[in-house]
Amino acid sequence: MNTNSRRSFLRGAAAAGAALFTAPALLRGRSRTALLPDADKPFRLAYAPSIGMFRELCGSDDPLDNLQFIYDKGFRAVFDNGLPGRPAAEQERIASAIQRLGLMMGPWVLHADFSNSSFVLPHREVRDFLTVKMEEGIDIAKRTGFKMALVVPGRYDEKLHPDLQRANVIDNLRYCADLTEPEGIILVLEPLNTLRDHPGLWLTQMPQAYQVCKAVDSPAVKIVDDIYHQQITEGNLIPNIEACWDQIAAFHVGDNPGRNEPTTGEINYRNIFSYLHSRDYQGVICMEHGRSIKGPEGVKKVIEAYRECDPF
């Protein structure tokens, strides 16, 4: 290469390098959604923000305003863990709005006590408590029409053999199913991680939850697969979804580490969502995570993350 040619090559390389450094800087000043077509069209899967998740961008704390905003941004599902704690009249308002908009409702939390043993014990007091709790869930389901309720079986008991605890969980869930199945209510069990968030809980793994559901053998007892928790607990995400498919009724999502929106951690959510779509999954995918950025910009980033992961 002669001197003139070498100088031309180096000038071209320098320009290309500058472009590589400049382009990301330019893009950082633009919304990633601007690069995606049909930014507000309905998503391909039923990703479900929590009610109020987008309130900074919505500009209102009213649940109905937030539901309309969620719909306008292309989401066709929502979830509300705290539904049982809302006044009955507010539950009815939310249910009416969701029905009007044609949204799906994900599971709401009926029982999630992380400090006490419950389902693992054979005691009469446990059955009495479960009776009251299931009746509460039946009342909410009748009032709203939302018939998927989340249950955490509680802590393990260090004084009781693990096999006996499993047998007690199965028996207690059969009892609950006898109460809820006639009402069309599905109780979803959530395996949770003990390494970071919930040390001491009994239900931690997908195969464990699958074994319990198969033993209970009721359409009223299924699994909610929380991808964030399972990435921490055991990984092997898609194979475990496939192995447990017939017992999974819903999903929770959040990236790891951080438990924020997809694209902020190590989980390849685009591949997971593509797999769910290939299985013709029609259920809810609850966006049970935080936001990597606070304020309205954080809301935009969450919506953009799902737009990035949805075109598969």
Name which of 280, 169, 268 is nearest 227 in CA terms: 268
Q: Are 66 and 82 in contact (CB under 8 A)?
A: no
Angle of the 295-309 helix axis to the 269-278 helix axis, nearest 10: 50
Angle of the 162-180 helix axis to the 124-144 helix axis, nearest 10: 40
- What residues does 252 pair with on adjacent strands? 226, 286
Cα separation of 96 and 295, whole Å? 29
Catalytically annotated residues: 190, 288
Secondary structure (3-state) at 117: strand
- What residues does 284 pair with on adjacent strands? 46
Cα separation of 165 and 168, whole Å? 5
